[in-house]
Amino acid sequence: MSTPILSAHSLVKHFNAGGFGAARKVVRAVDDVSFELAPGETLGVVGESGCGKSTTARLLVQLLTPDSGSVRYEGKMVGPELPLKSFRSKVQMVFQDSFASLNPRMTMIDAVAFGPMVHGVSRAEAMRKAQDLLDRVGLDPTRFGGRYAHELSGGQRQRVNIARALAFDPRVIVLDEAVSALDKSVEAQVLNLLMDLRRERGLTYVFISHDLNVVRHISDRVMVMYLGEVAEIGPAESLYSAPRHPYTEALLAAMPSLDPDRRTMEAPLAGDPPNPIDPPPGCRFHTRCAHAFGPCSAQVPVSHRVGTGHVAACHLNAKTEEVA
């Protein structure tokens, strides 16, 4: 891999969930997460609620400060080596809730123009750029530029949010469930837009979603998270066709088949995902894993290289594969 455009190095983020002293409860939202993004690639991030996907996204764009670990942009550590403000214009984010991510008192054109103006662009110039961008995401600026968020549909608002992110001319966009709240037919339109923009502008995406179908469609590589840790990361193709972590396998098996003759006959996992406040020791997945054996409940599994650029953290791979 060439110099990664964005990389996460052992990111850790814990939240206080109340209590003092010995009774203090800590949500281990993200625990020792590392990965790299090559320029122009799309990394899909999947996992269930509480797996730390959204926290990872916010750490990546520096909306949260990690307890330890660091984020690097083109090899430079954000903060000491790269000023936060210039990092901000390189890495942008689009959120799930299209309504909450727009200021209800701002017109759409002002919302898009706000970013460039923060970075010193004149108002007229920022407005011109905002117009072009609204046009690019498929919204006629003369019709939609003067409107407020509540006057737009969900799909239109999400287009505005994409335009707002683009207004910085970023290299990386973190999309946190950006299409999940949209109706399917609208979701397809927005996915097309995202893929077109990626090609036109050479963008790098971190695409977070709970929808494995969509992630498969848009991603080059996929990262599977479970209770704040990376379970498996690898090329979309091999991860979907030959998963090397039982959790990935279970997630794939839990997808509805879309084939009336091959309906799912057995649920791959029992029960709900455990609470990240008190994750199980050893491999965090061992309490739900059908293959759990000796070391799983005691030792934290190390990452094993299981293929080209394909790494999985599971004891099952210990005998056959080398440590990554």
Partner 1 sequence: MAVTADTVAHLATIEKSQGYWRSVWTRFLRDKVAVCAGLVAAGLVLMAVFAPWIAPANPLDGSMIKRLSPIGTEGYPLGADELGRDMLSRLIYGARLSLFMGVVPVLIAFTIGAAIGIAAGYLGGWVNTITMRVLDVLYAFPSVLLAIAISGALGAGILNGLLSLTVVFIPPIARVAESVTTSVRKLEYIEAAQASGASSLRIVRDHVLGNVLGPIFVYATSLISVSMILAAGLSFLGLGVSPPNAEWGLMLNTLRNAIYVQPWLAALPGVMIFLTSISFNMLSDGLRSAMDVKQ
Partner 2 sequence: MTQETVHAVTPLVRVQDLSVRFAGTPPVHAVNNVSFDLAPGEVLGILGESGSGKSVTLKTLLRLLPERKTKITGRVEVDGNDVLSLQGRALADHRGGVASMIFQDPALALDPVYTVGQQIAETVMRHEAISKSDAMTRALEMLELVRIPSAKRRLENYPHEMSGGMRQRAMIALALACRPKLLLADEPTTALDATVQIQILLLLRELQQEMGMGVIFVTHDIGVAVEVSDRLAVMYAGSFVETGSVRDVIRDARHPYSKGLLAANLVGAVPGTRLDAVPGAPPPLNALPEGCSFAPRCAHAEAACHASPLPVWTGADGRWARCVQASRTETLAKAEGQR
Which residues lie near partner 2 (CB under 8 A)?
48-49, 153, 155-156, 183-189, 191-192, 195-196, 210, 212-214, 216-218, 236, 250-251, 253-261, 263-273
Query: Closer to partner 2 at the Cβ: 88 or 198?
Result: 198
Task: Report CA torsion sign: 294, 295, 297, 298.
Answer: positive
Q: Please report how close the Cβ of residue 183 comes to partner 2 at its closest, in angstroms.
A: 4
- Per partner kind, with CB cut-offs from 5 to 8 A, the member of partner 1, partner 2, none near residue 85 is partner 1
Q: Please report how close the Cβ of residue 269 comes to partner 2 at its closest, in angstroms.
A: 4
Query: Closer to partner 1 at the Cβ: 129 or 221?
Result: 129
- Per partner kind, with CB cut-offs from 5 to 8 A, the member of partner 2, partner 1, none near residue 102 is partner 1
Query: Which among 4, 25, 42 has a CA at the least distance from the CA of 207?
Result: 42
Place of tokens 């409860």: 25
Among 9, 15, 74, 128, binds partner 1 (CB under 8 A): 128
Query: Closer to partner 1 at the Cβ: 123 or 291?
Result: 123
Q: Please report how close the Cβ of residue 199 comes to partner 1 at its closest, in angstroms.
A: 24
Residues 157-196, mask of contacts with partner 1 (x by CB under 8 A): ----x--x---x----------------------------
Residues 64-103, mask of contacts with partner 1 (x by CB under 8 A): --------------------xx--xx--xx-xxx-xxxxx
Among 104, 256, 260, 271, binds partner 1 (CB under 8 A): 104
Integer Cα distance of 222 and 129 in angstroms: 33
CA distances from 292 to 2, 161, 243, 305, 324 (A): 37, 43, 16, 20, 21
Integer Cα distance of 245 and 310 in angstroms: 11
CA distances from 268 to 254, 255, 265, 271, 316 (A): 6, 10, 9, 10, 18
Confirm if 320 and 305 have CB atoms less than 8 A apart.
no
As given in the structure block, the two tokens for residue 249 are 């396998």
Residues 108-127, mask of contacts with partner 1 (x by CB under 8 A): -x-x--xx--xx--x-xx-x
Query: Closer to partner 2 at the Cβ: 157 or 315?
Result: 157
Q: Please report how close the Cβ of residue 124 comes to partner 1 at its closest, in angstroms.
A: 4
Integer Cα distance of 113 and 58 in angstroms: 23
Enumerate binding residues for partner 1 (CB under 8 A).
Answer: 58, 61-63, 84-85, 88-89, 92-93, 95-97, 99-107, 109, 111, 114-115, 118-119, 122, 124-125, 127-128, 131, 141-143, 145-151, 161, 164, 168
